[in-house]
Amino acid sequence: MKTIYNQFLILFIVFTTIISCKAQTLPLNTDLDNTPLNAYLKDLNNELDPYVGTYQATIDGNQINLFITKEDHKYFDLGDVKFFQDVLIVRYTIKNSAGVILQSTQNTNFVTMKEKNLIHSLGTNPNLGMAILTYNGTNCDIGWGSVYLKKLNATQISWRYYAETVATSHERCPPNVDKSTYLPEGENLIFTKQ
Q: Which pLDDT score is estimated for 17?
A: 40
Mean pLDDT over each residue of the chain, to the nearest integer: 88
Q: Count of residues for the chain? A: 194
Instruction: State phi, psi for 122 to the nearest 5 degrees.
Output: -105, -20
- pTM score of the predicted model: 0.84
Please write the tens of the pLDDT for every residue from 120-154. 999 999 999 999 999 999 988 889 999 999 999 99
Please write the tens of the pLDDT for every residue from 31-69. 999 899 999 999 999 999 999 999 999 999 999 999 999
Q: HSE (CB half, 13 Å, CA atoms) of 180?
A: 8
On whether the CB atoms of residues 109 and 95 are closer than 8 A, the answer is: no
Please write the tens of the pLDDT for every residue from 169-191. 667 788 888 888 899 999 999 99
Closest CA to 89 of 115, 64, 56, 67: 67
On whether the CB atoms of residues 57 and 191 are closer than 8 A, the answer is: yes
Which residues make Cβ contacts (< 8 Å) with residue 114, sequence separation at least 6?
136
Determine the Cα–Cα distance for residues 127 and 163; give it in Å rounded to an integer. 25
